[in-house]
Amino acid sequence: MTDFKITARNVQVHYGTNHAIKDVNVDIADKTVTAFIGPSGCGKSTFLRCINRMNDTIDVCKVSGTITLDGEDIYDPRVDPVQLRAKVGMVFQKPNPFPKSIHDNVAYGPRIHGLARNRADMDEIVERALRRAAIWDEVKDRLSEPGTGLSGGQQQRLCIARAIATEPEVLLMDEPCSALDPIATAQVEELIDELRRSYSVVIVTHSMQQAARVSQNTAFFHLGSLVEFGETGQIFTNPVDPRTESYISGRIG
């Protein structure tokens, strides 16, 4: 079990009376891209948000079962979600840069976690994160301009840079390309493939082509249950469950 970065056992999520995630078990390997696919409303985002405990911020949301990161239960009462989120970064569906300068956007995480000893240190962290997010060349001359002034694709890469600036071990991405045009999407996909070298990436997508392009493993969710989980190539060419088959061939979703 410890060879996996993240393991989930019997995870149930309720929003009040709505049973959104039903008994999900999944193992996510390190340094791979795992894609969550499924029709909308099936609970992909909900499950993703369990992994960095963003669901804690929703009053009505109740999570049970166990999720471990490196063998440690992240829902253990001793775990501080703030510390967890520094290790498990997140990129959201809609690009959401802070209404601050590009530099400050990236520097915010390292600053609150005390990762930089001085200004030069911070500048280096910011530059490294922006380079890895493949946006450095576009913004290096205007680091003090507002991040909100960038184009959608640039904003999303800025958000990725912001997420990786805190040196997380896992990167969660919730439909990171759904608000982007095809060119920006291609850039972000390339970036995800690049990030796989250092992180374990979990990406939610409603585009099966995207899942096929960027992921090694794919999990198919349907109505709150994990229907099928396996190697991406196998899921797309030779699905075991008939529901997966019909989703992939376009009959549900």
Ligand X SMILES: Nc1ncnc2c1ncn2[C@@H]1O[C@H](COP(=O)(O)OP(=O)(O)O)[C@@H](O)[C@H]1O
The verdict on 17 binding another protein (CB under 8 A) reads no
DSSP 29-98: ETTSEEEEE-STTSSHHHHHHHHTTGGGGSTTEEEEEEEEETTEETTSTT--HHHHHHHEEEE-SS----
State both tokens at 92: 């959201």
**What is the Cα–Cα distance from 6 to 227, expressed in whole angstroms?**
18
Stretch that binds Mg ion, among 8-16, 42-50, 65-73, 141-149 (CB under 5 A): 42-50
User: What amino acid occupies position 225?
Assistant: S
Q: Whole-number minimum distance, CB 69 to another protein, in Å?
A: 14
Rg (CA), the chain: 18
Q: Whole-number minimum distance, CB 156 to ligand X, in Å?
A: 18
Q: Whole-number minimum distance, CB 92 to another protein, in Å?
A: 6
The verdict on 46 binding Mg ion (CB under 5 A) reads no
Question: In the stretch 82-101, what mask flags binding to another protein with x, by CB under 8 A?
Answer: xx-xx--xxxx-x-xxxx--
Q: Which CB, 68 or 166, lies closer to another protein?
A: 166
Tallying the residues shown for the chain, one arrives at 253
Question: In the stretch 132-171, what mask flags binding to another protein with x, by CB under 8 A?
Answer: --------------x-xx---------x--xx-xx-----
CA-to-CA separations, 132 to 52, 160, 233, in angstroms, rounded: 22, 9, 27
The verdict on 45 binding Mg ion (CB under 5 A) reads yes
The verdict on 113 binding another protein (CB under 8 A) reads yes
* DSSP label at residue 220: E
Q: CA 99 from chain center: how many Å?
A: 22
Contact footprint for another protein (CB under 8 A)? 52, 54, 57, 59, 82-83, 85-86, 89-92, 94, 96-99, 108-109, 112-113, 146, 148-149, 159, 162-163, 165-166
Contact footprint for Mg ion (CB under 5 A)? 45
